Chain A
Amino acid sequence: MTIQEIMERAGTKDTTLVIAWIKDAVNLIQSNQNDNVTTWKENIVDGTREYAFPANLIKLRNISILDTGDNKYKKIKRLLNDPTITEDTDPE
């Protein structure tokens, strides 16, 4: 369906505002359904603990780490509580 068709059905002529609302609606749909699922890969660096979420990620499904032993990505679990840190070389 074109933007023009959507505007005609909704009874509005403000293209810029409609485009913004369509983006909001797409975001809402993606937040609640697994409609457009994709993956992002990032290098793990020895000694670095912090990694940023991909900029265009809306809803996280899972996180995997490459098992270099059999070359497969394996889902890892989320820590529910803060770990007890005894030695932190990079305190923030």
Chain B
Amino acid sequence: MSYDTHRTWYYQIVGRNIHLWQLVDSGRTDTVSGYKIFLPGEVYSKTLVYPDESITDGLRFEGTAFIKPFVTVDPNELDSGSNPTLNEPSPVDETSHVNLSRMQSLAVVDYIKAMIADSNGNLDVKEYYMKEFWQKVSDHANNRRKTSLSSVSSPFAIR
């Protein structure tokens, strides 16, 4: 049975894989009257070992993913007051919708203009549109964050 997994398990990124390690107390042990005891005089330390047990659905990755880049309906319009059901079109054609917000879709337009400029060798124009792309992408992110700035004015400030 796994317990305190946030303290006893570690991972390491190795290329396309991760390596899982479990932290265990090591040292030579013996069982006396049903109790496991460390033998005196032995080196006792914490050691990383391969996973020591099988756990169904035990490993969970969380991250961003390439999921449904194109959908059949506009993802930014409500469907009778509810969020729309998004299905992937098959095949993807010109009538398919991009599964992004309006602002991100406008950013994609800038990205495509940048790529067209890149293919034509207009690097200045490409840089301009890439800047516009990132500007719109960050605008979209900022639209979901509410931040406030406050500063203290000095008692002798001119008001």
Contact = CB atoms under 8 A, between A and B. Distances in A.
A53 B64 contact: no
B141 A43 contact: no
Nearest to A73: B60
Interface bracket on B? 35 or more
Given A47-B50, A76-B5, A63 B65 contact: no
Contact of A44 (B53, B109, B115, B133): B53
B67 to A, nearest CB: 6
B51 interface: yes
- Interface of A: prevailing SS: mixed
Most A CB contacts (10 A, CB to CB) among B4, B96, B113, B115 go to: B115
A46 B17 CA distance: 17
Contacts of B11: 63, 76-79
Contacts, number: 249
Contact of A52 (B16, B106, B141): B16
Given A21-B115, A39-B60, A57-B65, A76 B9 contact: yes
B65 A58 contact: yes
Contact of B107 (A29, A47, A76): A29
A51 B108 CA distance: 34
Contacts of B59: 41-44, 51, 63-66
Interface string A28-53: 11111111111111111111111111
A29 B143 CA distance: 15
Interface string A1-41: 11110110111100100110111111111111111111111
18 contacts: A3-B97, A4-B95, A11-B116, A21-B108, A22-B108, A35-B64, A41-B59, A43-B57, A44-B59, A54-B61, A57-B63, A57-B64, A63-B61, A63-B62, A64-B62, A74-B5, A78-B10, A86-B47
Given A45-B54, A57-B64, 11 more contacts: A3-B93, A3-B97, A12-B116, A25-B112, A38-B67, A41-B57, A43-B56, A54-B61, A54-B65, A66-B57, A77-B10
